[in-house]
Structure 1
């Protein structure tokens, strides 16, 4: 597996290809990168009232999905982080359990802090070594982690 397979902020064309593949294949994405069924599509509200769809790696735990604003180890937060911070709820497209379909779930948004955030951050690093590598280039930035819980 590539050291950084979970960074999807490589441009709109790349993101759109991921989104289209996700939807066409029931939430499984193996091209152009091997994400498998580990992505979700987060419908993030924008300040102007529009919406950004962000394909993000997700760690599922205790009935919720967790996403991290790693931005591939950039010292700056990805733009979608600010949208999630403003939102109480977002729509989330996820691979449906045991079917080759995608379902949309309304989720409550909670940004994790302290020890809870640290526990989930460790799960991301277990999920992919790329996340640990991101810490080296982020210039001390703490990556925000959000818990998306079915509302």
Structure 2
């Protein structure tokens, strides 16, 4: 029993930043090489797994298009994701861009969609956070990973427009 308590007290393992950056670069390269077929995927409600989409924002300083591949799950017609930077503390650039220009596009396996991004707050945030925690692989670990950051992790809702 003491071993379980010690395991839960330990911070969860997070890959080093160089590894995360290499993985993100690999995803972008595969997206280009496959003409957008990989790594995009649908979430699976039956298996409780997230999907991958490509979010296209406008740079808040440059005005140029920026793209990032994100894990997401569906909430009705909305796409939901977390604004985290590989569990690192600073907010991801795509989130700052989305705050400045909330009308964006996402690429999914079903094609591009125009969406409006916003942060879930209050009871909606609590509900969505609990749903994500139920997805395979997270369990109680989601709160442990979120505790690695000095600020709450925004839950981002991408609504069709």
TM-score by length of 1: 0.74
RMSD of aligned Cα (Å): 3.0
Equivalent residues in 2 for 1:113-132, closer than 5 Å:
113-127=121-135, 128-129=137-138, 131-132=142-143
Question: Structure 1 runs of 4+ off > 4 angstroms?
Answer: none
Task: Give the alignment partner of residue 23 of structure 1, picking from 17, 27, 36.
Answer: 36
3-state secondary structure, aligned to 2:36: helix
Check the 8 A contact 1:9/1:71 in 2, yes or no: no
Check the 8 A contact 1:74/1:134 in 2, yes or no: no
Q: Which residue of 1 aligns with 2:155?
A: 145
**Which piece of structure 1 moves more, 130-139 or 61-70?**
130-139
**Structure 1 residues not aligned, in runs of 5+:** 30-35, 97-102
Q: Which residue of 1 aligns with 2:10?
A: none
3-state secondary structure, aligned to 1:120: helix
| Distance (Å, rounded) in 2 between the aligned partners of 1:26 and 1:71 | 19
Change (3 A) 1:14 1:26: closer
| Distance (Å, rounded) in 2 between the aligned partners of 1:144 and 1:131 | 13
By relative contact order (CA 8 Å, sep 6+), the higher-ranking structure is 1
3-state secondary structure, aligned to 2:21: coil
How many residue pairs get matched?
135
Check the 8 A contact 2:72/2:79 in 1, yes or no: yes
Cα deviation digits, residues 98-131 of structure 1 (max 9, x gap)? xxxxx00001122111221121122222224164
Which has the greater radius of gyration?
Answer: 2
Q: Which residue of 1 aligns with 2:52?
A: 39
Change (3 A) 1:26 1:57: closer
**Structure 2 residues not aligned, in runs of 5+:** 1-12, 43-48
Q: Shift of the alpha carbon at 1:73?
A: 1.7
Task: Give the alignment partner of residue 145 of structure 2, picking from 128, 134, 141.
Answer: 134
Q: Does 1:109 align with 2:117?
A: yes
